[in-house]
Structure 1
Amino acid sequence: MNKSYSIVIAGGGSTFTPGIVLMLLDNLDDFPISRLKLYDNDEERQNKIAGACEVLIKERAPYIEFLATTDPKEAFSEVDFVMAHIRVGKYAMRELDEKIPLKYGVVGQETCGPGGIAYGMRSIGGVLELIDFMETYSPDAWMLNYSNPAAIVAEATRRLRPTSKVLNICDMPIGIEDRMAQILGLSSRKEMIVRYYGLNHFGWWTSICDKAGNDLMPAIKEHVGKFGYIPKNEQEQAEASWNDTFKKAREVYQLDPDTLPNTYLQYYFYPDDMVKKSNPDFTRANEVMEGREKFIFGECEKIVRAQSSADSQIKIDDHASYIVDLARALAYNTGERMLLIVENNGTIENFDPTAMVEVPCIVGKNGPEPITVGRIPQFQKGLMEQQVSVEKLVVEAWIEKSYQKLWQALTLSQTVPNARTAKLILDDLVEANKDYWPPLAEKNLQPSL
């Protein structure tokens, strides 16, 4: 374990970057780093974050070479890992992703429904560009991609960069497993061995045991049935939308009490409820811009001014520790068991072999080996078939520049009530995304009779 690794964080201007840098610095004994670079195409935004990160590194590990750059060659040369969390269009476009569907009484959410489709159409090109930079300048590197919407991005990388060393990952199941561990009174989610299957933001836990093989599901189910994923001793979070999400798991769970659900299923099972509790003038994007974004930029400015993090309120991003686990598994062949988004290829026996599914995998130096799931019930199979078709149609629409396929994708989404509403939303999204999406060719439609 003598080698030190070189990492570039793509999306260096993200408000999550300082927490990830702190997390990497906190894990240097397990995963040594010799060089850490930030890359972003927005120099002004990245500079706000980079100045603070430089101070954090000088304080904790001054031997680490640090660089923030907008030059792809400088960023991607001589790196072992690319950690990618980009947001094409930033929060201004997320706000439109959420507000345009709500205008038509449809779920306005970052990764689910029309908002997720719009974001996916923007993300595909950005992620492919990062893969190409990596393969040009560091062809042996691995990309750990946690850019959203992960399901659409994963399908795009499967179709368009099938041989690339890219692993698509998501921290939402990790966050829920942290809560499960709290519910059980465990010190860490790593005390649990889980079985899970689905698509990204669209899955179910089927088994949770401790390391001695004792079944932990009954205790978690009993709690979730009463309180959702809110541990009894937890204080309500400042962000009310997350409290609502974790409470709503009570109702989502009732649809299949044999399993435990991913919280994002609320958008597909109860879309009307989600719309009713949304404020079309102040969505989650506004909450983030007014809250976390202002807070992180303010804290970074404070660190740079003082050239010290002594009074900083920025916290280590514990959820992001799974990124280090994944990098270590690839670097040291640890055989870590992790949830990843991989091509199905028979892992779920009665499901599309080309679907990108989220399942536990054993990870070593050659990448992930999915753990077989077997056959899944009709309820989950039907839901997943509909949702994976949405994701595939979005990627086909991007490749073919097809308005028709994107309209079909929106119509097929369980969050959208009918094709007419889908078209109204799509037309608004096309206009809003003209600087980001490929231009879409519309087939000649027959006039209505």
Structure 2
Amino acid sequence: MEKKYAITIAGGGSTFTPGICLLLLTHMDRFPVRKIMFYDNNAKRQEVIAKACQIYLRENAPEVEFGYTTDPETAFTDIDFVMCHIRVGLYAMREHDEKIPLKYGVLGQETCGPGGIAYGMRSIGGVLEVLDYMEKYSPDAYMLNYSNPAAIVAEATRRLRPNSKILNICDMPIGLEEKMARMVGLKSRKELNINYYGLNHFGWWHQIEDKDGNDLMPQIREQIKTYGFAKAALDMNPNAEPSWVDTFTKAKDVYALDPDTIPNTYLKYYLFPDYVVEHSNPEITRANEVMNHREKNVFTLCQSIIDKNTSEGSGFKADAHAEYIVDLACAIAKNTKEKMLLIVPNEGAIENFDRTAMVEIPCIVGKNGYERVVQGAIPQFQKGLMEQQVSVEKLTVAAWIEGSYQKLWQAITLSKTVPSARIAKLILDDFIEVNKGYWPELK
């Protein structure tokens, strides 16, 4: 009999959790699930999401056992995978991450620059807590972590839990690969063979072929040079949010710095921070947009399902971005040896870069974990940018471990988005004030 898998979704109160839950159901043919458990430390928030999902499962997959809890032993006993996407401090703290830097003329962004550092200082403890629960109650399970900021979290787990069964991933490059597949007339990114190097939200494609080995880079470069990713994004979703369209369009300016590679769109924050600040509203940031739209919409939908006691006609749908998580779980469970982007210790995969850096590169994934795909030596431009950014990430983790004010000040100062140590200190002192109870005490 084919094995069926038990999944715990850590972050059960997230607005993305219903989409992940539904996506698991749509892929039952290749990744059969026997149990889905939600875990969150915010009982009130989780209950609304969980009750709506419970009704959906009752109507569409009654054979799947379902539960939700705030009790770690209940949540993490008898499971095969933890899918972890927690947000410590919720969107109220993200609002501070974005607005405090903007007060000083520095970009405010969820995972990049000072905002990403502040978020990382909150996330490390939460992710380690979930990982420790998993190892205590289901020591053979795998944790698939896509909690942000992924680069800082990955460095923390490398240093503090080096032998744990955790894979750190990000779906941002996957979305861009879907757009590149569209540019060359292919149906899916899975028809591409890619090579990529960088850090999370900080990388470049340097080889893209089809399955027959034909070089697709010239066609893709031509589109990126003219449109960035915007044309492909709007072809796929004509209702794409304006802020995302701007990010996709700006990729053409990032590309111009090195026309031999294709950049991750998040590089705009590091290479054009002045542009980002000029186009930001310090009163209404992305956190406000999410709270006012996605958060309200998803919770309203879930409450409606609960009130009607049925999900029929609700518009509940699978979250396409989460398909990568199912692919990864399937690769481990079924030993598919699929080539996937992971955030892993470099160990020479990028030969002229820090061996201990947590780099984002293709890996071959199977039942025994992953094997790195060697990317060779990288150009000086990318190497210099990456060395600066990986130092920010390492200093942030060191600051968390040691409770060091000095190292966190250094981390923020070193970020390419911050103009001076003076500004870095002003931002840090404001962050310390609002993050009481979330950060370790700094000395």
**How far apart are the structure 1 equivalents of 2:56 and 2:244?**
29
Partner of 2:187 in structure 1? Answer: 187
Partner of 1:50 in structure 2? Answer: 50
Output the amino acid matched with 2:316. Answer: I
Partner of 1:415 in structure 2? Answer: 417
The count of aligned residue pairs is 441
**Structure-1-length-normalised TM-score:** 0.97
User: What is the DSSP-based 3-state SS (H/G/I as helix, E as strand, rest coil) of the residue aligned with 1:345?
Assistant: coil
Partner of 1:438 in structure 2? Answer: 440
Q: Structure 2 unaligned runs (5+)? A: none
Distance 1:71 1:235, change over 3 A: closer
**How far apart are the structure 2 equivalents of 1:278 and 1:37?**
39
Partner of 2:75 in structure 1? Answer: 75
**How far apart are the structure 1 equivalents of 2:293 and 2:152?**
28
- Written as runs of structure 1 = structure 2, the 5 A alignment for 1:357-436 is 357-436=359-438
Say whether 1:255 aligns with 2:225.
no
Partner of 1:133 in structure 2? Answer: 133
Say whether 1:222 aligns with 2:227.
no
User: What is the DSSP-based 3-state SS (H/G/I as helix, E as strand, rest coil) of the residue aligned with 1:233?
Assistant: helix
- Written as runs of structure 1 = structure 2, the 5 A alignment for 1:29-428 is 29-230=29-230, 231=232, 233-234=235-236, 236-428=238-430
Contact 1:18 1:53 in 2 (8 A): yes
Structure 1 residue 55: Cα displacement: 1.5
Q: Which of 409-418 and 1-10 deviates more?
A: 1-10
**How far apart are the structure 1 equivalents of 2:325 and 2:399?**
31
Output the amino acid matched with 2:40. Answer: D
Q: Quick one: percent identity of the two aligned structures?
A: 67
**How far apart are the structure 2 equivalents of 1:335 and 1:4?**
20
**How far apart are the structure 2 equivalents of 1:214 and 1:330?**
29
User: What is the DSSP-based 3-state SS (H/G/I as helix, E as strand, rest coil) of the residue aligned with 1:376?
Assistant: coil
Output the amino acid matched with 1:112. Answer: C
**How far apart are the structure 1 equivalents of 2:310 and 2:174?**
31
Structure 1 residue 234: Cα displacement: 4.5
Output the amino acid matched with 1:335. Answer: K
Partner of 1:444 in structure 2? Answer: none
Structure 1 residue 194: Cα displacement: 0.6
Contact 1:236 1:243 in 2 (8 A): no
Contact 1:296 1:314 in 2 (8 A): no
Structure 1 residue 223: Cα displacement: 0.7
User: What is the DSSP-based 3-state SS (H/G/I as helix, E as strand, rest coil) of the residue aligned with 2:187?
Assistant: coil
Structure 1 residue 60: Cα displacement: 1.9
Output the amino acid matched with 2:246. Answer: D
**Structure-2-length-normalised TM-score:** 0.98
User: What is the DSSP-based 3-state SS (H/G/I as helix, E as strand, rest coil) of the residue aligned with 2:235?
Assistant: coil
**How far apart are the structure 2 equivalents of 1:99 and 1:236?**
29
Output the amino acid matched with 1:64. Answer: V
Structure 1 residue 236: Cα displacement: 4.1
Structure 1 residue 307: Cα displacement: 2.3
Q: Which of 247-256 and 149-158 deviates more?
A: 247-256
After superposition, what is the alpha-carbon deviation per residue over 1:64-95, rounded to whole angstroms, capped at 9, x for unaligned?
11000000000000100000000000000000
Partner of 1:447 in structure 2? Answer: none
Structure 1 residue 238: Cα displacement: 4.7
Contact 1:237 1:243 in 2 (8 A): no
Structure 1 residue 310: Cα displacement: 2.2
**How far apart are the structure 2 equivalents of 1:62 and 1:173?**
35
Contact 1:252 1:266 in 2 (8 A): yes
Q: Structure 1 unaligned runs (5+)? A: 442-449
Output the amino acid matched with 2:178. Answer: D
